[in-house]
Amino acid sequence: MTRTAEVRARTGGLDVRKITYTEADIDKRVRAMGKEITRAYQDGEELLVLGLLKGSFIFLADLVRHIERPVQVDFLVASSYGSGTVSSGDVKLVYDPDAVMEGRHLLLVEDIVDSGNTMNRLIPLLEQRGPKSLEIVALLHKHIAPNLVKEPRWVGFDAPQEFLIGYGLDHSEKYRNLPFIASL
């Protein structure tokens, strides 16, 4: 089976413009980020890793396996897309975690930073909960948000100005399972 046929089989026949990041590219970068994060938290305290669902779940699962220190994982759900390919700007917090954040190192895991609406809504909310530190790790960053309240400390890849699917990223709840990231 050719690579094109394999991609079409995995996407149910959807033609993608290109494979933006291969499975190997992603694996190499996620491993490196895990090591960087491990080095950044040397105080021996547990790290609370908070994933933004649904897009971050695959990235988070791979990332925490490469963080060599105690971690607790929890999630929150925020949405600003609906079924479109452009952020609506209206961020809804659908699930708020029960984990205690006060006095703890908090690492927020985001799949992609594009409009900045989700980050700008969540960061002040999380800071109000009194974490010892709050950092962001994003798999992808489009660098188009004009006024981010906080930039990610770790970024996997600078993303192109395209709509991306795969490795947790979806279009209308489809294609999250792709092991690569592709542009539509």
On the 0-12 / 13-18 / 19+ scale of CB atoms within 10 A, 164 is buried
Catalytic residue among 25, 114, 158, 170: 114
Rounded distance, CA 49 to CA 20, Å?
Answer: 27
Amino acid at 82: G
Active site includes 114?
yes
Q: Are 74 and 97 in contact (CB under 8 A)?
A: yes
Q: Who contacts 76 (Cβ-Cβ below 8 Å, separation ≥6)?
A: 50, 51, 52, 53, 93, 95, 96, 97, 122
| Catalytic site positions | 114
